[in-house]
Amino acid sequence: MKSPKEIALDKKIIKLVTSYPQACKFVKALMADAELHELQEYANIVSIRRLGFNDHGPVHMREVAVNALTMLELLRKAGVRTSLEENEAGTYEMSVCAVFAAAFMHDLGMSVGRADHEKMSCILAMPILERILSEQFSVHDRAVIKALTIEGISGHMATQRIHSVEAGLILIADGCDMERGRARIPLAINTEPKVGDIHKYSANSILCVTISEGKEKPIKIDVNMDADVGFFQIEEVLIPKVNSSPVKCHVELYAGVNGDRKRYM
């Protein structure tokens, strides 16, 4: 059963894709897939309870999808073409499908473990993706969306070079989901100090992350925090992902403590 937070995020996602009928149908099918939802839930159990990490489950994957689709639409509004469009390999609507699918399944591999979880995510996502794609897309479109989705999933940790705008959005969208809600549960149930706690404490200082239209570039990311420890999350997690993304040239990044802003790019 979906939580109220998941349901609210599903509504946000549908609103972002409602203008694209085929993509909207695809998105709804993935959202309704029972096997996918169970994998998302189990990934969170392993991440939080077994490994002591932040949320990597159904809420996180939905947050990343909202972030990625929001940025994709901002690029479209600014006249920036997706890689599929630029290479004449597919349509904008196909890009929407791939961006959503990659965001929505990028952390399924956390159900196996942290090491190489990007690759594990690809393995777990593939049969679900093939099953849903086969219901509504041509052979060519299935092949392209599948490949682009896998690029987005496999590249979301910036450990593998990516080359498309679509995959580049997954990197940044993932890095932007760092508000304190992600760290609340692991901080509550894991009280013994250990290596890596800085990630949880830094995330817990992030009040909000907003993604909107920039003044100079299509995408503006603004991070507000209540303690300086949050700068660790920005400088060690978000910025390396932005720097590794083909979308970097389209991003403005601001951060600050209680309104005192600093521009990073």
Residue 185 has what pLDDT?
A: 47
pLDDT of 231-247, one tens digit each? 888 999 899 999 999 99
Amino acid at 214: G
Residue 212: pLDDT over 50? yes
Residue 1 has what pLDDT?
A: 84
Residue 137 has what pLDDT?
A: 97
Residue 3, CA distances (Å) to 10, 15, 160, 192 in order: 11, 19, 33, 29
Residue 229: pLDDT over 80? yes
Q: How many CA atoms lie within 13 A of 204 on its CB side?
A: 13
Average pLDDT over residues 51-56: 84
Residue 194 has what pLDDT?
A: 53
Label the pairing between strands 260-263 and 251-257: antiparallel
Average pLDDT over residues 193-218: 80
pLDDT of 145-198, one tens digit each? 999 999 999 999 999 999 999 999 999 999 999 886 544 444 444 555 554 556
Per the model's pLDDT, the better-predicted residue between 203 and 42 turns out to be 42
* Element of type H or E holding 237: none
Residue 230 has what pLDDT?
A: 85
Residue 259 has what pLDDT?
A: 74
Residue 186 has what pLDDT?
A: 47
Helix locations, the chain, DSSP H: 4-17, 21-32, 34-44, 58-77, 83-86, 92-105, 117-133, 139-154, 165-176, 181-189, 197-203, 230-233, 239-243
Residue 200 has what pLDDT?
A: 62
Average pLDDT over residues 21-35: 98
> In whole numbers, what is the pLDDT of the chain averaged over residues?
92
pLDDT of 88-112, one tens digit each? 999 999 999 999 999 999 999 999 9
Instruction: Give me the domains of the chain, ranges plus CATH numbers.
Output: 4-263 (1.10.1300)
Give CA–CA dist 82/92, Å, rounded: 7
Residue 122: pLDDT over 80? yes
Residue 14: pLDDT over 80? yes
Residue 260: pLDDT over 90? no
Residue 199 banded pLDDT, cuts 50, 70, 90: low
Laid out side by side, the sheet with 206-213 consists of: 206-213, 219-225, 251-257, 260-263
Average pLDDT over residues 200-221: 90
